[in-house]
Amino acid sequence: MAHLLVVESWVGSMSRLLPRAIREGGHEFTFLTRDLHHYLRAAPEGTAHPLLGARNVITADTNEAGTLLPEVERLHGALGFDGVLTSCDYYLPVVVRAAARLGLPGPAPEAVEDACRKDATRRVLAEAGVPGPRFAVHEEWAELARSAKDIGYPLVVKPVDLCAGMLVRRVDDEEQLAAAVEALAGFPVNARGQQRSPAVLLEELLDGPEVSVESVSHAGAVHLVGVTDKSVGGEPAFIETGHMFPAALSAADIEALERTALGAIVALGLTDGVVAHTEIKLTSAGPRVVEVNPRPAGNRITELVRHVTGIDLAAALVDVSLGHSPDLRRTDTGLRSAAIGFLVPEVTGTLEALDGGRVRTARDVLEVELAEPGRQVKAAGSNNEYLGHVMAGDPSGAGARDRVESLLGEVLSGMVIR
């Protein structure tokens, strides 16, 4: 039995999947957080929060590396850790630095830091010749306006250090650019209270569908698990409305996407101790890297992969964080594809009705999670405002997305927001 230190987590599904993977692997964990109530507010109704299954729950300032690293070292001396990990993007850099300080397995800190900063990722990949959009990074308005004209409208405005599509916007002219930059300036700290960079990333707007490549790196070898497709809505925002695994693409496209993802992962140096989620646009000119996330995919993509292949990416993260070879053997699960669709609110108000009764018992349904009536609803501007999801599988082929869209239509027909 190994003892892992888990430093913070996403509040969503990974806060449940990661403790399960640790437990099922025969291990235990200590949970370190600056605010336990941040997690308890989102506890599954009627059950204790999985993070409370920790051997220890310890409070410390996880936002201040200067005090956190010595504290982790002290805790290691008292409790003895075999690995350090997190599922939350905002804590990945400090976690890999903690692992290095304790002499425990983990990727190179510089590699993770570069992957967690969208501007650094762009520079590293450009220097390595990995295809991506034309881009510019500035803090001052005059330079942003000048670079936007050089790149050409329409383009994409991004924060360099936020997640879940927050404040990522398409802009078609200088007026929209100014509004997007102002919105970024009005969000000086992230959801975990960490100071944000004032840098703004401008990118060429790429054509074509977006997908992600899921991978696991261990001992210098990168194992490609497969390609997930993505549907996007909510323009001018970029909100993920659904996914299907595996993506219904040609063998040639899959090969090109996996080759591009591998090039990006190697260029960044994420070749040991990483479960990665690499987002790529399949443009008319070929694959172009959007970003490389050095952690398991969110939005239940890891569960889509598990339902189809039997591969548990949360368990793989536990394995590589301990320096163990991950179990990536595929099994016949009886499904050939699995998909998820999200309920994305388009208006602001109060949720009065949302009934998924018939959908819950429909054939091939894997999960249904819906918000309760009475919830205050905000028109979605990122992936953080979902009202629930439906997940379904297809035992015969690539029909899971169509099945989910049909089921979502039934749910939406009975949804009332006032």
What's the pLDDT at 361? 92
When pLDDT is averaged across residues 370-379 and rounded to a whole number, the result is 92
| Cross-strand partners of 340 | 243, 391
Q: Give me the phi and psi of 285, to 5 degrees please.
A: -100, 10
User: Which tens digits make up the pLDDT trace of 138-154?
Assistant: 999 999 999 999 999 99
Same fold flag, 3-104 and 133-204:
no
Architecture of domain 338-418: 2-Layer Sandwich (3.30)
Q: Are strands 274-283 and 349-353 parallel, antiparallel or unpaired?
A: unpaired
Q: What is the CATH number of domain 207-333?
A: 3.30.470.20
CA–CA distance, 358 with 361 (Å, rounded to integer): 6
Determine the pLDDT at residue 40: 80
Confidence of residue 319 (pLDDT cuts 50, 70, 90): very high
Average the pLDDT over 400-407 and give the result: 96
Q: Which CATH architecture has domain 133-204?
A: 2-Layer Sandwich (3.30)
Q: What is the pLDDT of residue 45?
A: 59
What is the tens place of the pLDDT at every residue in 5-54?
999 998 878 888 999 999 999 999 999 999 998 888 766 655 678 888 89
pLDDT at residue 46 in the model: 59
pLDDT digits (tens, 9 = 90+) for 174-207: 999 999 999 999 999 999 999 999 999 999 999 9
What is the predicted pLDDT for the residue at 123?
98
Q: Mean pLDDT, to the nearest integer, of 257-262?
A: 98
* Backbone φ, ψ for residue 241 (5° rounding): -100, -10
Edge-first strand order for the sheet with 221-233 is 286-293, 274-283, 210-218, 221-233, 239-245, 337-342, 388-394, 365-370
Question: What is the average per-residue pLDDT within 310-325?
Answer: 98
Domain ranges within the chain, ordered by starting residue:
3-104, 133-204, 207-333, 338-418
* DSSP of 196-241: PP--EEEEEPPPS-EEEEEEEEETTEEEEEEEEEEEEESTTB-EEE
Give tens-digit pLDDT for 59-80. 999 999 999 999 999 999 999 9
Given this model, what pLDDT does residue 269 score?
98
Share of the chain above pLDDT 90, in %: 89
Cα distance between residue 50 and residue 314, in whole Å = 14
**What is the reported pLDDT for 373?**
92
Pick the CATH number of 3-104 from 3.40.50.20, 3.90.1150.10, 3.30.470.20, 3.40.50.1100: 3.40.50.20
Amino acid at 139: E
- Looking at residue 292, what is its pLDDT? 98
166: Cβ contacts below 8 Å, ≥ 6 apart: 159, 187, 381, 382, 384
